[in-house]
Structure formats: structure tokens, C-alpha cells
Amino acid sequence: MTAPTVEAAIHELMDLAWNLVHDLLQERGLLGDGLFVEEFTGIHSWVEGITRYTVLHSREVAVLFVDTRPVDAIAFHHDLLGADDPARFFTRRSKAVRASGGQGA
């Protein structure tokens, strides 16, 4: 179970972009049976320059958001937790940052 504020943050971000997240997970072959917003229980967010990165994860998948737009999804693994740069696990980070006008690499 997650803390109410964490749960609210996850739901707010996912509610804004659920159709895009669904399409991204489907495109990456990560859309399993019964995947619901409620299954996302972890959030890690940070700012680089003017760009906010957020990783939301369930026990099965992790989704990278640049600002409020989901840009990549991968199968979740515990190496993401506590990583200095969790975005490095995602392959579409650089392209998404350039498209958003952010400062990241």
C-alpha cells in the first residue's frame, strides 16, 4: 500500500496521460492482462534544468515521463530503485528531452 500523497501523485499523472501510457506499453510489448493504474505504486521524480523527469512503476513495468508526457516504458527491475540517474535505463530519453526543449542529455 502506498501513502495517500504518493498515490494521489501517481493517479494525477496517470489520469492525464493514461491513453498515451496504454499505447506506449502496448507498443513496447509490456501491456499485460489486468494492468490498471492502481498497480502503479512507485514514483521517483527529479528536475534537471527546466525539465522534470518522473518514473512511475508497478511490479511489472516502469514508465518514464518527461514533464507530464510519457516517453518510454521498460520492464521494471530493482536496479531502477536508488539509481543516481534512473532515466539512463530508458532508451528514448534523449529524443524526448530534445523534443520538449529541455536541458537533459
Give residue 34's pLDDT: 59
Give residue 47's pLDDT: 92
Low-confidence ranges of the chain (pLDDT < 50): 1, 94, 96, 98-100, 102-105
Give residue 2's pLDDT: 56
Give residue 73's pLDDT: 92
Give residue 98's pLDDT: 46
Q: Which residue has the cell 526543449?
A: 101
Residue type, 31: L
Q: Do 68 and 20 contact (CB within 8 A), yes or no?
A: no
Which of 22-43 are b and which e, b meaning 16 or more Cβ less than 10 Å from the residue's Cβ? eebbeebebbeeebeeeebebb
Give residue 33's pLDDT: 63
